[in-house]
Amino acid sequence: VVIFGESQVGKTCFNDMFIYAERFVEYNPVTRDTSRCNFEVDGDIWILEVIDVSSTVFRDDDGTFHLSIFERFLEQARGVVLLYDVTRRSTFDLITSEGYLQVFRSRK
């Protein structure tokens, strides 16, 4: 599952609350692993891997990211959560227009 939204909207916090039931105190992307947890459904154990991807990198490409990696995350995900900050209307507008289109294009 990919959590997709603008920078600073709370993607990592949303992920931590969902997977670990707690908020992070300090975020360091260098030491941060992909979040995983096990779910039991009808007696079967399923592994859920959650990755947060910033939609900002698609619009403000500075050449340091390999967009193909992010596009592959979106393409191969079994689900995508579009996340925005309720206190910043621009994040809603961007994720429901540009962000949604990026997901649509990546998933073909």
In the prediction, which pLDDT does 43 show?
94
Strand, coil or helix: 29: coil
pLDDT of residue 27: 60
| Cα–Cα distance for residue pair 44/32, rounded to 1 Å | 28
| Number of domains comprising the chain | 1
Domain that holds residue 17: 2-106
Read off the pTM: 0.77
Q: Are 6 and 85 in contact (CB under 8 A)?
A: yes
pLDDT in tens, the chain (108 residues): 889 999 889 988 888 888 877 776 556 555 555 678 888 889 999 888 888 888 887 777 666 667 778 788 888 888 999 999 999 999 999 999 988 888 888 877
Q: What is the CATH number of the domain that holds 79?
A: 3.40.50.300
Instruction: Note the pLDDT of residue 32.
Output: 54
Amino acid at 15: N
**Residue 56 CB neighbours (<10 A):** 17
